[in-house]
Amino acid sequence: MEYRFSRILKENSKLSYDELIHPMYASRCTGETTGKALAVIGWCMQNPEQPYKIKGESNQRLNQFLFDLIHDLVNKLELKYFKFSVKNTSITYQPYGYVEMRWVEVR
C-alpha cells in the first residue's frame, strides 16, 4: 500500500515514515501556502493601486499567517512599493508616484 508524505517535511525534520504518513502531517510543508502568497503578490503587481484584502480562511489566525508570510516574502525578494495595512490585513502595490503641478500663466 502506498502512503503520501511531504518530501520537504522529510528533508527538514527527523520524523519517521510512520509519523510522516499520519494525517496530521500528510498535508504539511507542501508549498501550498507559499503558492498562495506568491499568487497574491502577483495579483497585486498586475492590479497596481488596488488593495488586496487577505480573507477567505475560516480562521483569522490563518489569514494573519498568510499576511505575515507575504510580508516576509516581499522583504526577502527585495520587492519595492508594497504597502501593508495591518489594520485591514490588506496589501497594495503602489508603483506610481504623484506630483502636483501648478501652472502659472505668464504675460
Same domain, 41 and 59: yes
- For the record, the C-alpha cell of 14 comes out as 527527523
Same domain, 6 and 47: no
Question: Which pTM was predicted?
Answer: 0.74
For the chain, 107 residues long, the average pLDDT of each consecutive 10-residue run is 72 74 69 89 96 81 89 95 92 88 77
Same domain, 15 and 58: no
Same domain, 26 and 36: no
DSSP 34-56: HHHHHHHHHHHHHSTT--EE---
Tell me the H-state helices in the chain: 7-11, 17-20, 23-26, 32-46, 60-76
What does the pLDDT read at residue 17? 72
